[in-house]
Structure 1
């Protein structure tokens, strides 16, 4: 792994990644724009968007930080039987299963308080939980893959993994949330 910590080295590693991620975020906004009518029809979905993508990005970031630390300590292998890797992935999944129902209840409660909820609370919780489970699986896959790629290209995972994971989870969050809405509404 490169241990060169100069402005030039960091810029050389990060600038191309950040430029690509900027385009990815624009794509996320375009996808979100396609669902504007549905968002205005169901304000609860509008409340779910930022919390869902933020929570998915946070889950991926937590896992990325844990994998990066394990990588630097030399305790991480990319063997599917690695208990450290599997344990961190399982903890991320368990956190998603426990937090996304709370996100759904919170979004429903907020919109019920402000504008009168138009969706049943169990529907909102189901949408939030199903989206959260799918996003947890995707965040785990993306985080492990990006950490592995950083390792293979001798990049510091601390520099590249979290920005890639959070931006990817933003896009995936929007897509998964609205795919779930299409299935459950």
Structure 2
């Protein structure tokens, strides 16, 4: 049981904490750079927190499932692995459903507050940015989980903190790329 000592936990967790802090600061700076666009379209300010959480949360859910499969000896190969395939499919369904639901809730909120976008535009923003975020985060989740397992690092110690933070960064980037593609602002 020497693996679960205070020193061992700190040694494994502190580098990950430092890395996630830097990534989080970077995501915040992207928001800071784009502050003028955000102020001109306040409904986007309502949308950002909910939409960026979807990628991190579903990616963390996928990471936990993959980590559990490694601990049970079920996830040793990436190709044609039903655990990976079914976990990704379930997380994708949950993530896209959440993006659709967030789009509806934000549209209703924007309509009530008088700061909304047209429904189709807002839904396109949510689904395109959400799809981009989910695909990127799930790819990173699978990569980090398999790399951690392969190099003898417990995926529970790496996947969830990294993916939650990467979800924020990729989500922010995805929202601004989608805003640019749809020419919203």
With normalisation by structure 2, the TM-score equals 0.94
2: CA distance between counterparts of 1:30 and 1:145? 26
Q: Which residue among 163, 167, 170 is the counterpart of 2:168? A: 170
Match status 1:62 vs 2:61: yes
2: CA distance between counterparts of 1:142 and 1:57? 11
**Aligned Cα root-mean-square deviation (Å):** 1.4
In the alignment, which residue of structure 2 is the partner of 1:121? Answer: 119
After TM superposition, the runs of 4+ consecutive aligned structure 1 residues lying more than 6 A away are: none
Which consecutive residues of structure 2, in runs of 5 or more, have no partner in the other structure?
none
> How big is each residue's C-alpha offset from its partner over 1:92-142, in whole Å with a ceiling of 9 and x where there is no partner?
11222222111111112112223x034111111110011111111111101
Whether the 8 Å contact between 2:129 and 2:175 is mirrored in structure 1 is yes
Greater shift, 18-27 or 73-82, is seen at 73-82
In the alignment, which residue of structure 1 is the partner of 2:108? Answer: 109
**Number of residue pairs matched?**
183
2: CA distance between counterparts of 1:65 and 1:136? 16
In the alignment, which residue of structure 1 is the partner of 2:178? Answer: 180
SS at match of 1:76: coil
Match status 1:144 vs 2:142: yes
In the alignment, which residue of structure 2 is the partner of 1:43? Answer: 42
Deviation at 1:6, TM superposition (A): 0.7
In the alignment, which residue of structure 1 is the partner of 2:27? Answer: 28
Which consecutive residues of structure 1, in runs of 5 or more, have no partner in the other structure?
none
Deviation at 1:28, TM superposition (A): 0.4
1: CA distance between counterparts of 2:140 and 2:2? 24
2: CA distance between counterparts of 1:69 and 1:132? 26
2: CA distance between counterparts of 1:79 and 1:58? 22
